[in-house]
Amino acid sequence: MSLDIKINNVTETGLGLTVPAYRNDVVREADIIEEVLRVYGYNNINTTEKLNASISNTSRFEDFKLQNIVGNQLAAQGFYEILSNSLTSPAYVNLTENLKEAHNVVMLNPLSNDLSVMRQSLLFSGLEAVSRNINRRRSDLKLFEFGKTYHTYGDKHIENKHLALFLTGNKDSERWNSTAQPSNFFYLKGIITAVLERLGLNSIKISPIQNDIFSEGISLSLGKKTLVDFGLVNKKIIKHFDISQEVLFADFNWDNVIEMAKHNSVNFKELPKYPETRRDFALLLDDSITFEMIDTIANQTEKRLLKDVDLFDVYQGDNLPAGKKSYAVSFKFQDEHSTLTDKQVDKIMNKLQSNFEEQLGAKLR
pLDDT confidence bin for 219, thresholds 50/70/90: very high
pLDDT digits (tens, 9 = 90+) for 230-246: 999 999 999 999 999 99
Q: Is the pLDDT of residue 1 over 60?
A: no
Q: Is the pLDDT of residue 2 over 80?
A: no
Q: Is the pLDDT of residue 142 over 70?
A: yes
Q: Closest by alpha carbon to 200, among 12, 52, 300, 69?
A: 69
For residue 53, the model assigns a pLDDT of 85
Q: Which residue has the higher pLDDT, 4 or 259?
A: 259
pLDDT confidence bin for 3, thresholds 50/70/90: confident
Q: Is the pLDDT of residue 267 over 80?
A: no
Give all domains of the chain, ordered by start, each with its CATH number: 6-44 (no CATH), 63-263 (3.30.930.10), 277-364 (3.30.70.380)
For residue 193, the model assigns a pLDDT of 94
For residue 188, the model assigns a pLDDT of 95
Model-level pTM? 0.69
Q: What mean pLDDT do residues 255-282 have?
A: 88
For residue 134, the model assigns a pLDDT of 96
Q: What mean pLDDT do residues 74-97 have?
A: 94
For residue 13, the model assigns a pLDDT of 84
Q: Flag the least confident range among 11-15, 126-130, 326-330.
A: 11-15
For residue 159, the model assigns a pLDDT of 95
Percent of the chain with pLDDT over 90: 60
pLDDT confidence bin for 84, thresholds 50/70/90: very high
pLDDT confidence bin for 213, thresholds 50/70/90: very high
Q: Is the pLDDT of residue 160 over 90?
A: yes
Q: Flag the least confident range among 71-75, 183-187, 248-252.
A: 183-187
Q: Calculate the average pLDDT of the chain.
A: 91
For residue 49, the model assigns a pLDDT of 83
